[in-house]
Amino acid sequence: MRRAYAMLGLGAVVLAAAGSLTLMPRSSEASATEATFLVPAADGYGVAECLVSGHTCGKAVADTWCEAQGYVRAVSFRQADPEDVTGSVEKVAAAPTPLPISITCVN
């Protein structure tokens, strides 16, 4: 009889411990993780056309990009400002290249 009560008590403790771990709220720091990516405008896939032109496909493309990078969704997307790009590598080609697209993702 004692063994049955001991097993019942142990089972209750394990169940309560498992339940408390699954019901814990997420920390605000983990849920607010944010990253910004610079996507080349001339990538060949037409990403820039959707994101910059204001077409309805822009939000879907940005969300898909974030999901591919391991994030949940896109918070914002726009054409990058010139000061967003460092320009640390000298340009070899004489033709000007379009500014990249900035996509900010969040978990």
CA 38 – CA 65 distance, rounded (Å) = 11
Worst-scoring range by mean pLDDT, 17-26, 71-80, 83-92?
Answer: 17-26
Neighbours of 11 (CB within 10 A): 10
Residue 16 inside a domain? The answer is no
Mean pLDDT across the chain, nearest whole number?
75
77 belongs to a structural domain: yes
Q: Report if pTM > 0.85.
A: no
Domain-located, residue 92: no
Q: Which one, of 81, 50, 85, 83, lies nearest residue 65 by Cα?
A: 50
Strand partners, 77: 103
Q: Is 12 contained in some domain?
A: no
CA contacts within 13 A on the Cβ side of 54: 0
